[in-house]
Amino acid sequence: MPAATPDSVPQPAGPAAGTGHPDRAEEHVHSPERRTRRPVPLRDQQILVEAGELLRALAAPVRIAIVLQLRSGERCVHELVEALGVTQPLISQHLRVLKSAGVVHGERHGREVVYRLVDEHLAHIVVDAAAHAEEISGNRPRPAATTRTIEPHRQETETA
C-alpha cells in the first residue's frame, strides 16, 4: 500500500481555479436562502497525512473489532481470539498493524503481552464510525454481490 505524501493532499483552489484562464476568477453566487460561510482553515498537510494513515490502519473489520474490545479494557491475544472467533496469527497480524500506527500499546506480563488503546480518541473514532454504519445500513439496501464476514477461526473472507 503506497504511503500518502504531502503532495497527495488536496490543495485549496486559487481564485482563478476552474476558469481555464489563470488571470480570471470565476464569479460564484449562492442562492439567497443560503448563507455564505467563511472557509474552514486547513490543517497542516503533515497532520492530514498522519490522520489518513491512522484511518487506513483502522480500515479492517478485525482491527475495528479489536479496538472495540480494547475500549472496555486491556486484553491479551488469547482473549481477543476467544472474543472475536478468529485465529491467533490473524489477531497478532492485526495487532502489529495497530501497534505500528500508534493505536495500541503492548506490555509484556510474564509469557503474555497485554494490549491496550493508546488513547480514548481512537475508541471514539471507531465507535462513531460503527454507529454511523448502523444508522445508514437501515436506510439503504445491502449489495448482494459481495459481503465481508469474519468467520470463526478463519481469516476474513469475501462471499458472493
Give Cβ neighbours of residue 7 (< 8 Å, ≥ 6 apart): none
Residue 21, pLDDT above cutoff 60: no
Q: Where do the domains of the chain lie?
A: 45-140+148-160
Stretch (H or E) spanning 130: helix 120-137
* pLDDT bucket at 155, cuts 50 / 70 / 90: very low
CA distances from 85 to 60, 68, 78 (A): 15, 14, 10
Strand partners, 148: 158
Of 99, 113, 120, whose CA–CA distance to 57 is shortest?
Answer: 99
pTM: 0.65
Write down the mean pLDDT value for the chain.
80
Residue 7 to residue 140: CA distance in whole angstroms: 35
The yes or no reply on domain 45-140+148-160 and CATH 3.40.50.2300 is: no
- At 30, the amino acid letter reads H
Can you read off the three cell numbers belonging to residue 6? 504531502
CA distances from 41 to 11, 27, 33, 37, 119 (A): 12, 22, 24, 12, 26
In tens, the pLDDT along 22-75 reads 565 677 676 777 777 888 888 899 999 999 999 999 999 999 999 999 999 999
* pLDDT bucket at 111, cuts 50 / 70 / 90: very high
* pLDDT bucket at 116, cuts 50 / 70 / 90: very high
In tens, the pLDDT along 124-135 reads 999 999 999 999
